[in-house]
Amino acid sequence: MANTPQSRKRVRQATKARNRNASQKSEFRTSLKKVLKSITDKNKEQSKENFNHAMSVMDKLVSKGLIHKNKAARHKSRLNSHIKNI
């Protein structure tokens, strides 16, 4: 249990950061699902639109340090190749 004022503040800060990070990671997963859904529906225009939004979300998470840059690059590459094959 946090006993000092500093440790209580760190607990509050960590909770806020954890909630913020969870929300952003959830948005990331949702954007990936939207792209995959439009790919399975063979809708190229919608896929490109969703892919652009997903790329934006991924780049933001990379700059904030929530996901590794290689993970973002891997997702971008694989999604783009799926879109090309439609």
What is the pTM assigned to this prediction? Answer: 0.85
**What tens digit of pLDDT does each residue of 38-75 get?**
999 999 999 999 999 999 999 999 999 999 999 999 99
Contact criterion met (CB below 8 Å) for 66 and 40: no
What is the sign, positive or negative, of the torsion defined by CA atoms of 75, 76, 82, 86?
positive
- Give the count of domains, the chain: 1
Contact criterion met (CB below 8 Å) for 58 and 29: no
pLDDT band at 1 (very low <50, low <70, confident <90, very high): confident
Q: Which of 82, 83, 61 is nearest to 72 (CA)?
A: 61
> At 15, which CATH number?
1.20.58.110
How many Cα atoms sit within 13 Å of 11 on the Cβ side? 8
Rounded to an integer, the average pLDDT of 28-37 is: 98
Question: Which residue range forms the structural domain that includes residue 44?
Answer: 5-84
**How far is residue 36's CA from residue 78's CA, in Å, rounded to a whole number?**
11
